[in-house]
Chain A
Amino acid sequence: MENDVLLQLNGICKYFPGVRALHNVDFTLRSGEIHALMGENGAGKSTLIKVLTGVYTKDEGKVRIEGKEANIKSPQDAQNVGISTVYQEIALCPNLTVAENMFIGRGKGKITNWKKMNARTTELLTSLGIPATATQQLGSCSIAVQQMVAIARAVDMECKVLILDEPTSSLDENEVAKLFKLMRDLKAKGVGIIFVTHFLDQVYEVCDRITVLRDGQLVGEYVIQDLPRVQLVSKMLGKEFDEMSDIKTVDPEAEDIKVGTPVIECTGLQSDAGIKPFDFKIWKGEVNGFTGLLGSGRSECVRSIFGADKVIAGEVKIDGKPIKIKKPLDAMKAGIGYLPEDRKLDGIVYDLSVKDNIILAYQVMKGWNHPISKAKAEEFAQKYIELLEIKTASSETPIGQLSGGNQQKCILARWLLTDPKYLILDEPTRGIDIGTKVEIQKLALKLAKEEGKSVTFISSELDEMIRTCSRLIVMRDRKVVGELNESELTQNKIMETIAGGES
């Protein structure tokens, strides 16, 4: 297995304005191996993959395929040299049929042979056990089926290199098992597979080697047997691991928090985003969290509390008083703040200044005919720029020019300015640097302890949740499946609850 090198990357660099996304990264893929590409959010995995698939053009470095230098400038080029890719988000066309999605953009000739295409597709779908028909419009399939179709397409392309960029986040266990079987079959045929995932179990189940990236740089390449989990995690996190472990001191009064009327109490709450009705309580000064896999419905839960999705059943009480939340403004007026999961899409207003971004929510609460004066707005902006140490040239800089972490701090400032009783932080640390992550975690704890606010914290990273939250609500398949208190908060216990206690 050591002998034939299939793909070799040397000294890859990629810069974005103000950001060094990749610096001098080497990567080697041998034929017939499954190679995990690991790293935290923002480590540069996605960028590296996009360079390899021609979505981005590299600034420096060389890509060799089977010894020959390849100049990949577009996804077509990548396909032509034998690299096929399955992306985390479905990268297919929803308006075309399943069969077309499998075959479009590949093969020679100018004519589409529908009969042959549909026949081949049906064959593939049956052999992979995908519940879809060739002539069905892709958009009418479930997300998981769409993802399987994408995988089927990639597999059918007779590629040399197969890249799987977090393909499992929308798949259930059975589908994952199917995928792994497929991967092993391909491996036996000599295909090299690059596998990106957040699930450590999956890495140790199928992979042969691991390459770890951190902050856009190569940490190292390891054979899987030589790298126990704990080591892998510390490699991914880097030396800051120790610092992060002790930001929370055990609070002896923790048990006393859950007394009296909860600040927020939801019963049977359900939104149109497809979650099962759930109950939820949080007390003054408490930090709790929703956990579960991506797509388990944790964001949808908090979104329904905030009124971001349409609520179809259930009721919410604030300080014991029932309240109707139909739209976000109702929630805001009731003292709820929500830092959304997708910073780019739902958080920042890209072209507006840092100042306008900070005052936005407060301004909306004041009403359209009471604009905040220029001087006042500047004062607020300066206050939070100093308080949260937001690194920006001035309060007039468009927020889009800031780094991810500083953008997130601005959104945090936006909600702090509204002085909420209850603050929801949905993935506040995703894709930002470790220093800022720690700051945000500390801030969440401080808000609860010193200012008596209630905070709900959501993160994909379990240890982060364990460090910040005193109570976890565990979700699976869009349903609340358990609640863990302080004493039960261990990696294993949480994993077990997420997985359904089968192990």
Chain B
Amino acid sequence: MAKNAKATAVTAPKPSLAKRVRNMSDTNLLLTITITVFVLMYLSAILFLGSGFLKPQMFLNILNENAALIILSCAMSLVMITGGIDISVGTMTALVCMSCAVHLDYKGGNVFTALLIALAIGVGYGLVQGYLVAYLNIQPFIVSLAGMFFAKGATTIVNATQFNVENAQFQALKSKRIYVPGLGSTNKHGIYIPAYVEIGVIVALLVVIGLFVFLRWTKMGRSFYAVGGNAANASLLGINVKLTKFTAHMMCSVIASIGGFVYFMHVGSGSPSHAAGAEMNAIASSIIGGTMLSGGVGNIAGTFFGVLSLSTIKNIVSALGFDEAWWTNITVAAMLCLFLVIQSIVLKRKTNK
């Protein structure tokens, strides 16, 4: 630490909080902002909106409701860190749900093969989008815009109407609850209600941890940051930029397809309108979580908190009495806008000083 201070003193003579912020990496700076915002938000919700927010199950329900979104957002963060974007994840989720639903109920398949179908869709998307972006150098936004519309149309080609899945094996999986010891509460009648999470939450947490480790400790994970920071220089440093971008898109699509399956387990039906706008929520969560649009900066932990912040604010908005459907969208958009502007300002300041 002493060495640290001595060394930096040469480049910046004024030691202060501002300096410490400046020396922080962009990733950590934005992560700090995110976690602070989340904690403040949750605390103020507890203070002003009553004890509902204090119950552990309330918090766990946020996880239950958002397990799929957490996974989709993590997938989104991966490509965003490499400087890309993938807006096809939302409609791809709908395609996964519909394909699995049709497979289970109309084709008499089992849950395992349904999962395989979901993964196959992910791999297919990863191959095409990854190739187009990485090897043909086409803007990721355009590629995934086409991917988004393709999935949208393809979902209705698979089946045009909504229906609930009745496959018994699937129902068992869907309704499986995993009890969390020590977090339960007693209700009015003095009966202990254990707190629970769905299977999807476990999957989501595994994905978060897995990707966190991947991005932090593997060479490929670090190449994601390098490529996002400056692709031309990363290439000069000996990184295979094309392969890195391809891997990012591949991982994004495959993980998103897992997210799609988790979504499917949560809702238990197939519908063309499933996960509508999920890509926006995923992008918003990533950005709120401190992933920079321009690439090279971001953290999976931040994304996780981004999802939590987003759903907490939705809960707050509806607890305040704005429970018409449109308020949710407007809140998400406002939040996205706010954090985009924060990013733009924070980083501009930092580079200027």
Contacts and interface: CB of A to CB of B under 8 A. Distances in A.
**A and B interact:** yes
A111 B7 contact: no
Given A75-B235, A91-B237, A95-B25, A112 B218 contact: yes
Interface string A107-123: 00111101000000010
A75 B236 CA distance: 5
Interface string B225-245: 110111011111111100000
Contact of B229 (A75, A85, A95, A122): A95
Nearest to A137: B25
A106 interface: yes
A72 interface: no
Contacts of B4: 133, 135
Contact of B26 (A74, A76, A79, A95): A95
Given A96-B225, A104-B219, A104-B222, 17 more contacts: A74-B235, A75-B237, A76-B238, A90-B233, A93-B229, A94-B230, A96-B229, A100-B225, A101-B237, A104-B237, A105-B223, A105-B237, A109-B219, A110-B219, A111-B217, A132-B8, A136-B23
A132 B7 contact: yes
A55 interface: yes
A131 B238 contact: no
B103 interface: no
Q: Chain B interface: which size bin?
A: 35 or more
A142 interface: yes
Contacts of B228: 95
The 10 A-B residue pairs whose C-beta atoms are closest, nearest first, are A105-B238, A95-B229, A131-B10, A93-B229, A95-B296, A105-B237, A137-B25, A91-B236, A105-B239, A91-B233
24 contacts: A55-B236, A74-B235, A74-B240, A75-B235, A75-B237, A75-B238, A79-B238, A93-B237, A94-B230, A95-B26, A95-B229, A95-B297, A100-B225, A104-B219, A105-B226, A105-B239, A111-B219, A122-B3, A132-B11, A133-B3, A136-B23, A137-B25, A140-B11, A141-B11
B174 interface: no
Interface in B280-305: 296-297
Interface string B180-193: 00000000000000
A91 B233 CA distance: 5
A191 to B, nearest CB: 18
Contacts of A85: 236
Interface of A: 53, 55, 74-76, 79, 85, 87, 90-97, 100-101, 104-106, 109-112, 114, 122, 125, 131-133, 135-137, 139-142, 145
SS of B interface (majority):
helix
A136 B8 contact: yes
B226 A93 contact: yes
A114 B221 CA distance: 13
Contacts of A141: 11
Contacts of B230: 92-95
Residue among A132, A136, A142 having the largest count of chain B Cβ atoms under 10 Å: A136
Contact of A96 (B3, B11, B216, B226): B226
A133 B8 contact: yes
Contacts of B111: none
Contacts of A145: 11
Interface string B189-230: 000000000000000000000000000111111110110111
Nearest to B351: A139
Interface of B: 3-4, 7-8, 10-11, 22-27, 216-223, 225-226, 228-230, 232-240, 296-297, 351
A140 B23 contact: yes
Contact of B222 (A100, A109, A122): A100
Residue among B11, B22, B23, B24 having the largest count of chain A Cβ atoms under 10 Å: B11
Contacts of A90: 233
Nearest to B24: A137
Given A105-B226, A140-B22, A142-B11, A93 B233 contact: yes
Contacts of B23: 136-137, 140
A96 B222 contact: yes
Contacts of B226: 93, 96, 100, 104-105
A55 to B, nearest CB: 7
Contacts of A133: 3-4, 7-8
Nearest to B232: A91
Contact of B236 (A87, A97, A111, A131): A87
A76 B239 CA distance: 7
Contacts of A75: 235-238
A96 B7 CA distance: 18
Nearest to A142: B11
Nearest to B237: A105
Contacts of A76: 238-240
A135 B20 CA distance: 13
Nearest to B297: A95
A112 B219 CA distance: 6
A133 B12 CA distance: 13
Contacts of B218: 110-112
A105 B231 CA distance: 13
A4 B234 CA distance: 33
A97 B218 CA distance: 15
B64 to A, nearest CB: 34
A238 to B, nearest CB: 32
Contact of B25 (A74, A87, A97, A114): A97
Contacts of B8: 131-133, 136
Nearest to A107: B219
A229 B229 CA distance: 42
A101 B24 CA distance: 16
Residue among B222, B226, B228, B238 having the largest count of chain A Cβ atoms under 10 Å: B238
Contacts of A104: 219, 222-223, 226, 234, 237-239
Nearest to A144: B11
Contact of A131 (B7, B26, B240): B7
A179 B49 CA distance: 63
